[in-house]
Amino acid sequence: MKKELIELNVNGRTHELAIEPSKLLLDALRQDLQLTGSKRGCDDSSCGACTVLVDGIPMLSCTMLAASCEGQEITTVEGVSEHGSLAAIQKAYGDWGGAQCGYCTPGFMMTVKHLLAVNANPTEEEVRSALSSNLCRCTGYSQMYQAIKAAIEAEQKAVPST
Amino acid sequence: MSDFSIIGKPTAMVDAAGKTTGAGKYTDDLSLPGMLVGKILHSPYPHARIQRIDTSRAEQLDGVVAVVIGKDAPTPYGILPVGHDEHALVTDKVRYVGDNVACVAAVDEATADKALELIDVEYEVLPAYFDPEDSMKAQSDFIHDNKPQNIEKDYHHVFGDTEKALAEAACVAEARFIANEVTHAAMEPHSTLAAFEIDSHTGKPGRLTVWSSTQVPYYLQHKLSLVLEMPMAQIRVIKPLVGGGFGGKSEVIPLEIIAAVAARKAQAPVKITYTREEVFWAHRGRPRTIIDLKTGADKDGHITAVKARVVQDGGGYCSYGVVTILYSGALLGALYDIPNIQYDGYRVLTNKPVCGAMRGHGTVNVRFAFESQLDELALKLKIDPAEIRRRNLLKPPCVTINGLRVQSYGLPECIDKVVERSGWRERKGKLPKGCGLGIACSHYVSGAANSIIRSDMPHSTVNIKIDRDGGVVVYTGASDIGQGSDTMVAQIASEVLGCSLGRVKVIAADTDLTPIDIGSYSSRVTFMNGNATLRAAQEVKKLLIAAAAKKMNCAAEDLVFRDDRVGKKHVAAGDSPAQDGRGRPSPHELSTDGQASVSGRVEGQILRGSLQQKRKDEGPKDAMTFEEAVVAAIDFHGALTGTGSYAPPQEARGGKHKGAGVGPSPAYSYSAQVAEVSVDEDTGEVTVHKVWAAHDCGRALNPVSVEGQIIGSVWMGMGQALTEEMVWKDGMLMNPGLLEYRSPSSVESPEVEPIIVESVDPEGPFGAKECSEGSLAATIPAISNAIYDAVGVRLHESPFTPERVLAALRAKKAEKKIDLTEGVDPTAPTRFREHGGSLWFRGKGPARHPLDPARREAPAGGDD
């Protein structure tokens, strides 16, 4: 298949890529941009390890064509850290055991980032429901809830209430 | 002030940031210049002889660099010395749907996929065996010629006089239990990257480097050396981050050998990454197990005998099978005090993907049967289920009737804790209709006392070096697969040396750099590699102590290393100092007074600038910084290195009978759990609301990791109890994907309350034992027992799906069974994908069920 030139905006930077129109966003990120943080865990869009934000909405990059994302803002796990430091949720996942093997973690980072962006103080029910888009085989999810709680508290401490 | 400054404190894993930022590299994240993509052609038949393979059309395809088949690497291998029955690619026949026939190395994945379609294979289809009990009756067409009746291995153990004890027992329970097949489904699909270097002297391909998602880099190095006929020294295996193992990466998986064989022929680096479907075929999971169990007890509930006949459906090759079937029998002991044990185990070959080791290797399914039956005995004898377990406790230190040495034994406390926390006494039997509580116990080895290649050599060796500015580097062969072994190693080194965790860097699992550790399996790493780390740190610390004692003008025994400071013991303890009247802060307080001083008395030593500038000439010191002690030690001794190794003690290696090598461990972990469930009597659906899980891990070196391992084990056990099951039809896996192989999601996962019990093992590092596997086995029977408590039905087959629970409920009420799939194509129940995976999608699978509307004849010759 003949390649075409596309522009992808990833983590605030624009990249020009020559790719086949059939190329999946996940493959473009991992192979063409060397952004290997997003993972492939399944063949059928069931695991969520490849989750990225497209215009702020969590999407499975294994089921999107890269070419269809032109003009949209894509955020991958590499874009979550702030000013070269861990974001609160990243720090909390480390401290509270939210990541064990870590393979599903990038996907969870994106899902949680979106959850907290739309709902700064979710109930446990809402957290469970939001996280159900992603599979983890190590943690049984429990320590993730603690991590998310800790991240919310850290954020609230960082931003003094008015 | 606790006795420890590092261990026992919740600690983020040393590699956590790499995981949460995406910067950490797993094998599939790596690439090399000129790297090719490898793709494997899998067998569409469960049992067939290969008549002919023609790869010429594939080789001519533009972009294809090499095609390899069985004869390119015909040396057999296998993880066990007694089971060398696999080849990189099959040489004579295929033994399961998904067996490995050929591999293409091409410039990209699409080209490689296309080339697979161009390989012509002619098969002579043979009769296939799918059920182990049928397979055992086979008279011809054996799966392996040297295994008559398709029995890989059978063992018959008798300890005591079981028949007599059962005849005399006041109460006997007998039943058949079946635990269906489950798999690891680690989130990271297996991946291997292999590259040869050109040798400077010969000008030909020389050394091989393999990056692989493995739990056992040293076994991989060994098997590569066997199949490629290269010395191990010429092969370097590097384990990058591994995305979960659970046993699925604890042996050499076909792609690891195939990638190296393909790289050799293609003369270029080759990476192979499995699709999720291929991961299911590679499998090596927990076999479907049929357990005929008979247990007897006296009138007070003391178990007098247990008799078990176990048949395991092992799949097409040996894998860890011989070990699995031995664990199933051996670990009937070491949990309770059982005076008579009889065990008949059969590991049977079938034409299905290969079963191997999975979390709780060999014990889980038998434990489900045993703990279920123990509840039946308790019911018959009118003894509380928690109480009957208490009445059968071991009296350690002891050696069980089957030769297992037990020292630390936290089971009684585990039982007490879960009984107390769950409100067992107040709530058991008093919950509303349809709700119930169940209890069960389990245990597991903290590492096999005998390695699979038996020898007296150490199972782990660790090297430590300390640099001039006090940086500590630990070289360990331990394979961190997400359980946190790198962190454990760093914690132990820093605790022993009294330095902060930030000083310690761990270099792990690289066969060129790190001394041998036999791998992350049988929950051996904390115990064995931890002990090796402890010894290495103690060895290098001796040099530090000698130098510091000289500098501080005191006896070596008086020194305390803690929090990056070296101080004197009696001062830390608050005693009146003998040589010096001045009040001095304890070493612990010293560390808190802001930035530690980096001054040091340095003799003829070239150091980094900052240290050199601040050097002062002083007399004997009262306290030193860690750096000062390091500098002094380098002054005195020249180099600061230490080595430690661990081999299990002879007394812990088990009895003398055939098969006695499997089961013995230097220490056992213990677990007790209470599960609270509700059962919908109309639909048969079981919901687990909460599990209280107490686990005796000896000592929790990192409580956050220990709790994570307990929760993860319980959760995985719950998956096997309720939803996870590999469903087969004519040797074809019906659910080879994460949608249909139903691993519980966050909304289906209950609260698990982990309770750490610390029995402090006399031989574990700081008393630690395993915490990653033992809990899993108790969850399934705890749920089963809770279902009985809720609705009064005893389930004999796992998982406890709505269909099975409903059938049991209706049978109890003598109602007709509702057969939801009556007259329906059994290959296409709604919860499975209709095509059973890519093979069927391409019409290459074995004949479909006659009623299947999508049935179509497989094309002649197997391939289009």
In a domain, residue A23? The reply is yes
- Please state, for a pLDDT cut of 90, what percent of chain A lies above it: 91
**B631 three-class SS:** helix
Q: What is the ipTM of this complex?
A: 0.97
Whether residue B716 lies within 8 A of chain A, CB to CB, comes out as yes
- A109 shares a domain with A66: no
Name the pLDDT band for B823 (thresholds 50, 70, 90): low
Q: Kindly report the pTM of this predicted structure.
A: 0.93
Q: In the structure, what pLDDT confidence band is assigned to residue A160 with cuts at 50, 70 and 90?
A: low
**A48 pLDDT above the threshold of 80:** yes
Query: Is residue A83 assigned to a domain?
Result: no
Taking only the tens place, the pLDDT of each residue in B534-544 is 999 999 999 99
pLDDT at B253 over 50: yes
Closest A-chain CA to B241: A101
Q: Which residues contact B286 (CB under 8 A, 6 or more apart)?
A: B179, B181, B182, B183, B355, B358, B360, B364, B365, B720
10 Å Cβ neighbour count for B636?
16
- B743 close to A (CB below 8 A): yes
Tell me the angle at which helices B364-381 and B774-791 cross, rounded to the nearest 10 degrees.
40
The last residue of one of the domains, among A29, A52, A77, is A77
User: Domain with A149 in it: what CATH number?
Assistant: 1.10.150.120
Q: Is B745 on the interface with A (CB under 8 A)?
A: yes
Same domain, yes or no, for A68 and A123? no
Instruction: Give the C-alpha separation, B291 to B307, whole Å.
Output: 10
Q: Is B758 on the interface with A (CB under 8 A)?
A: no
- To the nearest whole angstrom, how far is the Cα of B486 from the nearest Cα of chain A? 12
Q: With beta carbons less than 8 A apart as the criterion, state whether B421 and B753 touch.
A: yes
Q: For the residues A33-44, what does the mean pLDDT come to?
A: 96
Cβ <8 Å between B17 and A94: yes
Last residue of a domain, one of A54, A77, A100: A77
Question: What residues of chain A lie within 8 A of the CB of B776, using their CB?
Answer: none
Residue B400's pLDDT is what?
97
Q: Which residue of A has its CA nearest to B188?
A: A41
Cβ pairs A/B, distance under 8 A: 182
Which residues from chain A sit within 8 angstroms of residue B245, using beta carbons?
A: 101
Give B228-242 pLDDT, tens digit per residue: 999 999 999 999 999
Per-residue confidence at B689, pLDDT binned at 50, 70, 90? very high
The residue segments making up the domain with residue A115 are 88-158
- Asked if the model's pLDDT at residue B843 lies above 90, the reply is no
CB distance B516 to B477 below 8 Å: yes
Mean pLDDT over the full length of chain B: 91
Residues A94 and A47 in one domain: no
The CA distance from A11 to the nearest CA of chain B, in Å, is 13
For residue B454, the model assigns a pLDDT of: 79
Whether the bond into B432 is cis, omega within 30 of 0: no
CB contacts under 8 A, B 29-68 vs A, are 29
Is A132 close to B746, i.e. CB distance below 8 A?
yes
Q: Please report the pLDDT score of residue B819 as a whole number.
A: 67
Distance from CA of B566 to the nearest CA of A (A): 29
Q: What's the rounded mean pLDDT across residues B653-680?
A: 97
Q: Is any Cβ of chain A less than 8 angstroms from the Cβ of B243?
A: yes
3-state secondary structure labels for all residues of B696-751: ECCCCCCHHHHHHHHHHHHHHHHHHHHCCCCCEECCEECCCCCCCCCCCCHHHCCE
Q: Does A146 touch chain B (CB under 8 A)?
A: no
Q: Which pLDDT value is given to residue A161?
A: 54
Whether residues A81 and B21 touch (CB distance < 8 A) is answered with: yes
Which one of B17, B22, B739 has the shortest CB-CB distance to A44?
B739
Whether the Cβ atoms of residue A139 and residue A133 lie closer than 8 Å to each other: no
Contact B189 A138 (CB under 8 A): no
Instruction: Give the residue from A48, A136, A37 showing the smallest Cα distance to B186.
Output: A136
CA atoms within 13 A on the CB side of B316: 24
A147 falls within a domain: yes
The answer to whether A135 contacts chain B (CB < 8 Å) is: yes
Query: Could you tell me if B375 lies within 8 Å of chain A, comparing CB atoms?
Result: no
Q: What is the pLDDT of residues B47-73, one digit of tens each?
A: 999 999 999 999 999 999 999 999 999
Integer Cα distance of B626 and B630 in angstroms: 6
Task: Tell me which DSSP letter residue B72 carries.
Answer: G
3-state secondary structure B542-583: HHHHHHHHHHHCCCHHHEEEECCEEEEHHHHCCCCCCCCCCC
Give per-residue pLDDT as tens, B209-233: 999 999 999 999 999 999 999 999 9
The per-residue pLDDT for range B718-735, each reduced to its tens digit, is 999 999 999 988 888 989
Q: Which residues of B touch A139 (CB under 8 A)?
A: 708, 711-712, 715
pLDDT-based confidence at residue B814 (cuts at 50, 70, 90): confident
B187, A46: Cβ pair inside 8 Å? no
Q: Dump pLDDT digits (tens) for B314-330.
A: 999 999 999 999 999 99
Residue A82 lies in a domain: no
- The CA distances from residue B188 to A29, B99, B229, B242, B243, in Å, are 18, 21, 30, 7, 5
Are A94 and A153 in the same domain?
Answer: yes
Q: Provide the CATH number for the domain around residue A50.
A: 3.10.20.30
Span B494-508, pLDDT tens digits: 999 999 999 999 999
Cβ neighbours of B21 in A, within 8 Å? 37, 77-78, 80-81, 86, 90
Give the pLDDT confidence score for residue A82 in this predicted structure. 85
**pLDDT for B55:** 98
| pLDDT above 70: percentage of residues in chain A | 98
What is the per-residue pLDDT across B644-663, written as a single tens digit (0 to 9) for each? 999 999 999 999 999 999 99
Contact A99 B19 (CB under 8 A): yes
Domain count, chain A: 2
Same domain, A151 and A109: yes
Answer yes or no: do A102 and B184 touch at CB < 8 A: no
Distance from CA of A160 to the nearest CA of B (A): 26
Q: Nearest-CA residue of chain B relative to A48?
A: B187
| pLDDT tens digits for range B259-294 | 999 999 999 999 999 999 999 999 999 999 999 999
Shortest distance, CA A70 to any CA of chain B (angstroms):
23
Judge whether A47 lies within some domain: yes
- Pair (A116, A68) in one structural domain: no
Residue numbers of A between 21 and 40 with CB closer than 8 Å to B: 30, 35-40
Inter-chain CB proximity A143 and B708 less than 8 Å: yes
Q: What residues of chain A lie within 8 A of the CB of B836, using their CB?
A: none
A100 neighbourhood in chain B, CB within 8 Å: 244, 482-484, 708, 712
Question: Residue A38 falls within a domain, yes or no?
Answer: yes
Does pLDDT of A141 surpass 60? yes
Contact A135/B715, CB-based, under 8 Å?
no
Mutation target vs B (from A27, A34, A74, A141; most B CBs, 10 A cutoff)? A141
- Cα–Cα distances in Å, from B594 out to B257, B424, B500, B597, B630? 54, 50, 14, 9, 21
Closest CA to B264 of B191, B210, B202: B210
Domains recognised in chain B with CATH numbers: 31-126+188-243+249-282 (3.90.1170.50), 148-183+284-451+653-812 (3.30.365.10), 460-646 (3.30.365.10)
Of A38, A86, A129, which has the smallest distance from its Cβ to B20's Cβ?
A86
Q: Rounded to whole angstroms, how far apart are CA atoms B557 and B573?
A: 14
pLDDT band (50, 70, 90) for residue B820:
low
Closest CA–CA distance from residue B18 to any residue of chain A (Å): 8
**Does residue A44 sit within a domain?**
yes
**Cβ-based contacts of B276 with chain A (< 8 Å):** 41-44, 47
CA distance B191 to chain A (A): 11
A92 and A139, same domain (yes or no): yes
Task: Answer yes or no: are the C-beta atoms of B193 and B211 closer than 8 Å.
Answer: yes
Q: Please tell me the distance from the alpha carbon of residue A137 to that of residue B185, in angstroms, as a whole number.
A: 7
Q: Does A95 reside within a domain?
A: yes
- A106/B22 CB distance under 8 A: yes
| pLDDT for the residue B581 | 37
Q: Where do runs of H (alpha helix) occur along B53-202?
A: 56-60, 109-117, 132-135, 162-168
Whole-number mean pLDDT of chain A?
95
What angle do the packed helices A124-131 and A142-158 form, to 10 degrees? 120
Rounded-to-integer distance, Cα A78 and Cα A110, Å? 10
DSSP B234: G
| Residue contact B185–A137, C-beta within 8 A | yes
- A-contacting residues in B 430-449 (Cβ below 8 Å): none
Q: Are residues A97 and A62 in the same domain?
A: no
Q: What is the pLDDT of residue B780?
A: 98
pLDDT score at B455 = 84
Quick one: which H or E segment has residue B150? Answer: none
The residue out of A45, A77, A109 marking a domain boundary is A77
Residues 40-59 of A with CB under 8 A from B: 40-44, 46-47, 49
